[in-house]
């Protein structure tokens, strides 16, 4: 017959064995699983992303500076390659930025080209105006203006190619942008010739239409001569200005003195 205490002891032994087995087979807690370390590849990418963000922050610069870099690169590319052959990839690479950033700043290739025309046209007009002293004699004003014009076009050949060649041959609306610049220069030269006529005759001796015609002829000659001078390494800006001055002012001088040329009968 079994002893009374033996049954209790057996039950305790069985329970202890089951508890021990349960401890061995138990699964890791969810918290431990969540704390599982990131694998090497993922950790590397995370670190790389953080490093890239830091690099971007270090390279950030004011919008005006970045945009100037893009326009400089665009003028060089358009001037040397031509509008149709130039690509946004080339411009972005030369500017040291991504192509999406160029589009973000300047919208499209057409808008970028228009921005180049406006900037370079404004720079050329400003260079001519700043070189001229309003109180100087008419011939000195014209000479200073021509020297500034030829010096600027010689120092910025890509910009002049954009204005004189590319914008006009590609067509509208780019040609219209250049015409705005041209009309501003023509207006300036027209006022100069009219002032010279008044100084010589003490009245407006030359008809307005003749003065405007002379101004257009003079500006057209300057544009053509600048295009030629930029292809001739031996021709300086000073020489180009002197050539046009001799060509134009000799005739204007006689005109101002009341000795206009007349066609033979």
Domain boundaries in the chain?
119-256
**What stretches of the chain show up as alpha helix (H) in DSSP?**
4-25, 30-34, 40-59, 63-81, 88-95, 99-106, 109-131, 138-155, 157-160, 167-170, 174-201, 208-229, 237-256
Q: Among 191, 184, 181, which residue's Cα sits nearest to residue 211?
A: 191
Written as six digits, the tokens of 144 are 């200073």
Asked if 101 contacts 158 with a C-beta cutoff of 8 angstroms, the reply is no
Place 47 in a pLDDT band, splitting at 50, 70 and 90. Answer: very low
Q: Is the distance from CB of 99 to CB of 89 less than 8 angstroms?
A: yes
pLDDT of 28 > 60? The answer is: no
pLDDT tier at 208, thresholds 50, 70, 90:
confident
Output 203 or 23, whichever has higher pLDDT: 203
Average pLDDT over residues 72-83: 96
Are 183 and 191 in contact by the 8 Å Cβ rule? The answer is no
Phi-psi region of 204 (alpha: psi -120 to 50; beta: other; left: phi over 0): beta
Query: For 194-208, 212-226, 244-258, which range has the lowest pLDDT when averaged over its residues?
Result: 194-208
- Round to whole Å and give the CA distance between 251 and 217: 12
pLDDT of residue 254: 73
pLDDT of residue 34: 46
DSSP state of 130: H
pLDDT band at 147 (very low <50, low <70, confident <90, very high): very high
Task: Grade residue 157 by pLDDT with cuts at 50, 70 and 90.
Answer: very high
Comparing C-alpha atoms, which of 163, 156, 166, 198 is closest to residue 184? 163
Percentage above 90 pLDDT, the chain: 49
CATH level 2 (architecture), domain 119-256: Orthogonal Bundle (1.10)
Average pLDDT, the chain: 80
Reported as a pLDDT band with limits 50, 70 and 90, residue 59 is low
């Amino acid at each position: 017959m079994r002893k009374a205490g033996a049954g209790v002891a057996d039950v305790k032994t069985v329970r202890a064995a089951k508890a021990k087995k349960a401890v061995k087979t138990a699964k890791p807690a969810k918290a431990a699983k969540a704390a599982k370390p990131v694998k090497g590849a993922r950790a590397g990418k995370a670190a790389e992303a953080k490093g890239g963000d830091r690099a971007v922050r270090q390279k950030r610069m004011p919008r005006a500076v970045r945009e100037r870099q893009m326009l400089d690169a665009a003028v060089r590319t358009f001037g040397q390659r031509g509008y149709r052959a130039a690509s946004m990839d080339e411009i972005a690479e030369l500017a040291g930025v991504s192509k999406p950033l160029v589009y973000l700043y300047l919208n499209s290739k057409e808008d970028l080209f228009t921005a180049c025309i406006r900037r370079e046209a404004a720079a050329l007009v400003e260079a001519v105006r700043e070189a001229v002293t309003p109180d100087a004699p008419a011939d000195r004003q014209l000479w200073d203006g021509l020297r500034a014009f030829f010096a600027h076009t010689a120092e910025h050949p890509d910009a002049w190619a954009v204005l004189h060649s590319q914008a006009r041959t590609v067509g509208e609306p780019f040609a219209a942008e250049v015409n705005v610049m041209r009309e501003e220069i023509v207006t300036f030269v027209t006022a100069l010739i009219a002032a010279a006529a008044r100084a010589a005759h003490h009245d407006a001796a030359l008809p307005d239409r003749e003065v405007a015609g002379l101004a257009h002829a003079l500006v057209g000659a300057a544009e053509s001569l600048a295009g030629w001078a930029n292809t001739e390494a031996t021709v300086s800006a000073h020489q180009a200005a002197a050539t046009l001055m001799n060509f134009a002012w000799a005739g204007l001088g006689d005109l101002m003195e009341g000795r206009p040329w007349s066609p033979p009968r």
